[in-house]
Amino acid sequence: MDAGSSYREAAVRGATPVQLVICLYEQAIADVRRAILALETGDIRARTRGINHALKVIGHLHGSLDKDRGGEVARNLERFYSLVRTGLIEAQMKESRKVLEEQVSLIMVVHEAWLEVERVTAAPIPRPAELVQTGLVNSTAETSSADWNA
């Protein structure tokens, strides 16, 4: 096992579900970028390998959607994954760098959204006592209407 694989394996072991999703997006981006490089050099096998692996990653993300609890977000992601999958297949058939680059751009936009989810969910939720200490909440029960208008 190479150093990169060992590092990724260790990172995955301690990852939250959101971090795992982020890792999968990063893997899909890397796979498509490898396919672009292979396309430029005329390496059909490497291009196919990159696209096929990206399709597997997208398939895994798609298969992990909880459509019952995910609501509209899950439905939107389902459509997104179908769009990316179609684009990857089109890029393979047409040998199109442009279509591959479009898929990278699409994946990166959603990747950024997941990074924001991680940032927001990783922030600790302050307990009431911490809010009082920081001055964000008045420690007395009495609050004038002027306090709310400030």
Structure-token pair, residue 144: 């004038």
For the stretch 1-33, pLDDT in tens is 677 666 667 667 788 999 999 999 999 999 999
> Is 144 a domain residue?
no
The number of domains in the chain is 1
For the stretch 130-147, pLDDT in tens is 545 555 544 444 444 444
Name the nearest CA neighbour of 81 among 28, 30, 12: 28
> Is 117 a domain residue?
yes
Name the residue range of residue 102's domain: 3-125
In this predicted structure, what is the pLDDT of residue 135?
Answer: 54
C-alpha 34/C-alpha 53 separation (Å) is 10
Q: pTM above 0.85?
A: no
